[in-house]
A and B are shown apart, each in its own frame.
Chain A
Amino acid sequence: MAHLGRTKWGEFLAGCRDEAPLQLGVLPFGMLYGIGALAAGMPAWLAQLASAIVFAGAAQLVIVQMLTAAAGALPIGLTASLLNLRHVLYSASVADYVRHLPRRWRLLLAYLLTDEAYAVAILRYQSTRPDVSDGRPAPAGDLGHWYFLGCGFTLWACWQLSTAAGLLFGATIPPEWDIDFAVPLTFIALLTLLLRERAGQAAALVAALGALAFAALPYKLGLVAAILLGLVAGVWASRRGERAVQDGKEVDR
């Protein structure tokens, strides 16, 4: 990542530039969300507003899918909140780099702290301030937050525009085309990308079986129960895997 310049705008534009290539991946998800939201019966204005309020692609697709399945507000809220829990990890990861900033900057950057913006911004922070964990203050004239802002702004703008494009496009698709099926298809695609390790496979399998076992629970609360059971299975399998690795090392010795 070459430095465009040592000015605020230079850093901001460098953030925009480095974030831009990721938008090729973001765009289809935003459109899919917009199309799916209309098919799930969301008013278009609210679907667009949700992209600003929630601003988290996976959670928004999950909300759409659960609305399609006629789930109640409580299970949808619980599932989406659980899915977004990972942002606490991102928040902890960037904390040392932004703690010296005024509160208004931290409030703004927190809003923009999404998967894709985090991924680009943290790389830059790690390369420019590798010794941050020593508790040293930020170097004078540190402009890393402008770079972060550029990343976040680019993603935010692309997310809003791709949502709008999906809403416009979705309005032209007749309901008998079953376009809402594209959302579970997306989950299938993401699952194949995510399921590289045993523990994740255990979590997914148990959650899928749980969704069938608890199907009769009202308001689709069975989905929440199934996901929680899947998490228990996943964490259990991770621990077992770690122990197996440790045992293996002992055998090696």
Chain B
Amino acid sequence: MSTPALIGLLLAVGIVTYLYRYSMIGLFASRNLPGWLHALCRHIAPASFAALTASALFVHGGEVSIALDAPKPWAALIAALVAWRTRSVLATIGAGMAALYLFKFLL
């Protein structure tokens, strides 16, 4: 993406985010948000992270490729196990990167 396009994108996201933050303390009087909005917001982060991770692991140039000799999915699997056991973000990143280097060397 060109730098001007990226500036425009970041400004747009920044303005939208600011309007969210200002919405109920400056723009609208009603404080009673519908229940479905709470339910929706709970699922946005898991859905986004899962879609982006699946895409990073298995999509290359618009095509799905699931190969047994690809290092990244295996490294991600190790990272997921470490994440599940330790619940630590730093340990997950450390183990995942170490596993990636190892699998790149082995595969």
Q: Interface residues, chain A, CB within 8 Å of chain B?
A: 28-29, 32, 42-43, 46, 49-50, 53-56, 58-59, 62-63, 65-69, 72-73, 76-77, 79-92, 94-96, 98-99, 103, 106-107, 109-111, 113, 178-179, 181-195, 199-201, 203-212, 215-216, 218, 220, 223, 226-227, 230-231, 234-235, 238-239
* Cβ of A59 to closest chain B Cβ, rounded Å: 7
* Interchain residue pairs A-B with the least CB separation, the first 9: A234-B43, A230-B47, A53-B14, A204-B50, A189-B92, A110-B22, A91-B24, A208-B54, A185-B96
Bound CA span A218–B96, Å:
30
Question: A235 and B25 in contact (CB under 8 A), knowing A73-B8, A216-B63?
Answer: no
- In the complex, the answer to whether A56 meets B17 with C-beta atoms within 8 Å is yes
Bound CA span A166–B41, Å:
29
* Cβ of A108 to closest chain B Cβ, rounded Å: 10
Question: A194 and B25 in contact (CB under 8 A), knowing A88-B20, A208-B54, A235-B39?
Answer: no
Contacts of A42 in B (CB 8 A): 6
Q: Taking each of A43, A85, A205, which has the highest tally of chain B beta carbons within 10 Å of its own beta carbon?
A: A85
Could you jot down 23 A-B contacts, CB within 8 Å?
A: A32-B93, A58-B45, A63-B10, A63-B13, A81-B13, A84-B16, A84-B17, A91-B20, A91-B24, A91-B25, A106-B26, A110-B25, A111-B18, A181-B56, A181-B100, A188-B53, A189-B79, A189-B83, A189-B92, A191-B49, A211-B50, A211-B54, A227-B48
* Cβ of A197 to closest chain B Cβ, rounded Å: 8
Which residue from A43, A185, A188 sits with its C-beta under 8 Å from B3? A43
- In the complex, the answer to whether B43 meets A199 with C-beta atoms within 8 Å is yes
Bound CA span A181–B31, Å:
41
* Cβ of B79 to closest chain A Cβ, rounded Å: 5
Question: A181 and B96 in contact (CB under 8 A), knowing A50-B10, A191-B50, A211-B55?
Answer: yes
